[in-house]
Every structure is written in structure tokens, then in C-alpha cells.
Amino acid sequence: MTNDPIEAFLSRLQHPLIAGIDLSLDRMHRLLSMLGSPHKRLPPVVHVAGTNGKGSLLAYLYAVYEAAGYRVHRYTSPHLVEFRERMIVQNKMVENAYLQNVVQHLASVLAVQPATFFEATTALAFLVFAEKPADVMLLETGMGGRLDATNVVDKPLVTAITPISYDHTEFLGTTLAAIAGEKAGIMKKGVPCVIGRQDPEALAVLEKKAAELGVPLTRLGHEFHVEHRDGKVFYRSAKRELELKPSLPGDFQYDNAASAIACIEVMQDRYNITDTHITQGLANTHWAARLQHLTHHPYNRQLPAGFDLYLDGGHNPQGGQMLANWAQKQSGRDVYLVCGMLKNKDAKAFLTPIAPHVKALYAVEIEGESMSRTASDVQGVAKSLHIEAQTAPSVEIALQTIAQHVKTPATVCICGSLYLAGKVLAAA
């Protein structure tokens, strides 16, 4: 039991990974109607879907608009440590006391109109955002797009779709075309859409949907570009050329930063965003558990001097490829993984691209998560890919084991799940 009203409220909601997800907007519309239709009283919305990079894209947009002096609301999921992380209100995490009052109101309505965890928490966010003025609202889908609980905003200012990969296949389909069809569901008639780097199969679906709805597209590799020249990376479009210096590590972040700039250009008539604002924003973007360098975390003390510790929440094939690209560039240093994953994620597909670039893997169970794979399960998958692997009872003991047996400075990455990442960050 907990004395925190918010935690008590959340514990009563259905956990989507256990109870299943109801892919329908009818119940969401009924719930919002009973709450006074807060989704119709929101600031101008940037609605983002995709498999990988949604959070990073929104983090870049948030930092740029903040640098330009605008008031920003942001809704993302899941949270890593504290539920309030999901709701940034006027550039600050929502106040606990205010959120408690809104929770009480929502709870009385849920007693009449039940909802899934994500439906209820999205409705909660809309209630909060509708009552607080802002210049722009950044809205991330939870899963899919077409029937996602966030997809009740009739006329966003712009939509964006980040790279599409295989994830949530039990709900979204088993082909890239099917998954892309679900993501394309956030497109609205006549509303501009920014498209990140896509597999041709997915891009074809997005382009067909856009043509049906008369959606102007701004596509990476077509209307805007990421170019590598003389050891530098540049954004280029018909409107500007700008050197990209994003603060988030990993080559894939150049694409995410470029997509953010493309969104800004689509909205340029409404907001005064300069190159200086963009440069400052990209350089000051923070987004936890995306190849996050844990320089001051207590777990760092488990490793010898000269070792580097990173944290990454990627958990699908594309996330594995991004991690592999990063591992490959670790300047000749051996890379060790501490990995925990959920049962509904394809561990083999995630680990396959990483396998050639990893010295060894230490498999752990995600503490307190009923949907966690066992450490021996993750170990077995790793071994099937010819990764040297063993189990450890915890992340901390895995790091201690690495410290005991690895004699030269190496890079260690804790990876495989945002839920595992949250446990790590909570230990700080």
C-alpha cells in the first residue's frame, strides 16, 4: 500500500502489459466527453508516432522551443522513475499537488467509465494541459497511431513519423507495411507531416496514405537531408543549411535532430525560431536512457577508473542496430552488455545486430516486473548468437563481475528495456 494518492490511483488502473490493450477510440471519446472534452481545448499540437526516435525528436523540439522562449507542454511515455515525468507543463514537470486534484476528478469519472491504463493517463494529461496555457504541445503516441489513445486530436498543427520497425507486432501487425499503416493513422486531412528515415516498404505506405488525405509531406532524403562532409554533419533543406551538433550520442541522433528542424520549418509561420535557437536547443537537449553516459551514477563506482558506463532503453530490432552502430565506434575498446528484456520483446532480433560487436553479455532479470524475461532466457538467446554470456542476480553484481575479470578499460552498456533503465535511474 502507498500513502501517495497518485501512486494509489495508478496501482488501481489496469497494467497494459498484463491486462492487454483495447485498440479502440470509442471508449476514449466517451471518457473525454464525460470530462468536458479537454482534448478540444489544447494548445497547438505536434503529434508524433513511430517505432524509434519519438522521444528524442520531442526532446529536441522541446529544447529548441524553450531556447526561443516559448511555453511548452510535453506528453511522453513510459516514465522511467516517476509518473510525473510524462507531463511537462509550461516547461516544468507537473506539480504534485495540482496533479493530485486532477487525479481525484478523473477517478470519479473512471468509476462510471472504466479505461485502460494508457487511456486513463492520457485523459489525465489532457485535463492538465487544457487548463494551463502554452504556445505549443508536444504529443507522443503510446503505441501505433490509428487507434492510439492520443489520436483524438482532430487538427494538430503538424504530425511526424519517426523510423518504423518491428515492435508490438501482436497488436500492429507482423509486416512493416502493416505497422506503417497503423502509424500513418495519425495523419489528418491537409495537415503537414514530417517523415523520418524509413524502409522503402514503410515509406510507400506512408506516401499512399498522405496522397489519400492530401497531406503535404516533408521527407528525410527528399525535402530535407542529412549530409556528412569533411568530418561534419549538416542539415539541408530549401530553407536553410545548418551544421548539426546534437547533444545526444549516436549517429542516429543526427536524423532525429534533422526531423525536429524539419518540423520547425513546417511551423515557421507561427513561431519565430532562428538558427541560433536551433543550435542552442540541439546542444542542450536532455533525454534519459538513450545512450545516456552515466558519469555520476552510483553504479559507476562498481567499475575501475577508465571504464565508461552507458544506459540505453532500446529493445527492438532497429534499437539493436542503433546500439550496434554505436558499439562499433568505441575506438577499439571492448564493449560489455548488461541486458534485461521483457517477454513481449524479440530478444533475438534485438541482439542479432549487436552480436559481432560485443565482448560479452551479462543477463539480468528486471526486478519487480512480472513480464520480465528470466536471466537464463536472455542468456540462452545471446549464446545462440555466439555471444559469450552469463547470468547475474542484479545489475550491480554484473558490474562487479565485469570489474573483477576485465583488466583493460572497456565500455559497458546497460540495455534491453526502458523498464530496466528506469530501475537503474531510480538507484541513483
**Four-CA torsion 92, 417, 290, 396, nearest 10 degrees:** 100
pLDDT at 223 exceeding the cut of 60: yes
What integer pLDDT is reported at residue 323 of this predicted model? 96
Centroid of chain to Cα 167: 13
In the beta sheet, which residues pair with residue 106? none
- Does position 274 have pLDDT exceeding 50, yes or no? yes
How far is it, in rounded angstroms, from Cα 62 to Cα 60?
5
CB atoms under 10 Å from CB of 4, counted, come to: 12
Q: What is the mean pLDDT of residues 25-32?
A: 94
Residue 15 has pLDDT above 50, yes or no: no
pLDDT at 239 over 90: yes
- Whole-angstrom distance, CA of residue 30 vs CA of residue 116: 13
Cross-sheet strand order for the sheet of 335-339: 292-293, 308-311, 411-415, 335-339, 360-363, 389-391
If pLDDT is split at 50, 70 and 90, which confidence band does 290 have? very high
3-state secondary structure of 178: helix
For the question of whether the overall pTM of this predicted structure is more than 0.95, the answer is no
Q: What are phi and psi of 182, to 5 degrees?
A: -70, -45
- 224-235 per-position pLDDT tens digit: 999 999 999 999
What are the residues whose beta carbons fall under 8 Å from the beta carbon of 99, sequence distance 6 or more? 6, 84, 87, 124, 128
Q: Reduce the DSSP state of residue 49 to 3 states and report it.
A: strand
Fold of 5-283: UDP-N-acetylmuramoyl-L-alanine:D-glutamate ligase (3.40.1190)
Cell 502554452 maps to which residue? Answer: 134
Residue that is written with C-alpha cell 542468456 in the block = 379
Domain at 292-426: CATH code: 3.90.190.20
CB 82 within 8 A of CB 300: no
Nearest Cα to 186, choosing from 138, 212, 150?
Answer: 150
CB 48 within 8 A of CB 107: no
Q: What are the backbone dihedrals phi and psi of residue 47, each rounded to the nearest 5 degrees, phi first? A: -105, 125
> Cβ–Cβ contacts within 10 Å for residue 384, how many?
14
Q: Please tell me the distance from the alpha carbon of residue 33 to that of residue 123, in angstroms, as a whole number.
A: 10
DSSP structure class, residue 85: G
Answer yes or no: is pLDDT of 16 > 50. no
Assess contact for 427 and 298: CB atoms under 8 A.
yes
Residue 23 has what pLDDT?
A: 60
What residues contact residue 394 under an 8 Å CB cut-off, 6+ apart?
A: 364, 367
Q: Give the chain's length.
A: 428
| Cell numbers linked to 64 | 529548441
Distance between CA 217 and CA 132 in Å, rounded?
31
Residue range 86-131, pLDDT digits in tens: 999 999 999 999 999 999 999 999 988 888 889 999 999 999 999 9
The number of helix segments (H) and strand segments (E) in the chain equals 16, 17
Exposure b/e, 77-101, CB count within 10 A at least 16 = b: bbebeebebbbbbeeeebeeeebee
Rounded CA separation 363/135 (Å):
45
Please indicate whether the domains covering 5-283 and 292-426 agree at the CATH topology level. no
Query: 88 phi and psi, to 5 degrees?
Result: -95, 120
> CB neighbours of 405 closer than 8 A, spacing ≥ 6?
none
Does the pLDDT at position 180 exceed 90?
Answer: yes
Residue with cell 481545448: 41
Q: Which residues of 386-401 are buried (b: 16+ CB within 10 A; e: fewer)?
A: ebebebbebbbebbeb
User: E strands along 57-126, which residues?
Assistant: 72-75, 87-89, 92-93
**Can you give the residue ranges of every domain in the chain?**
5-283, 292-426
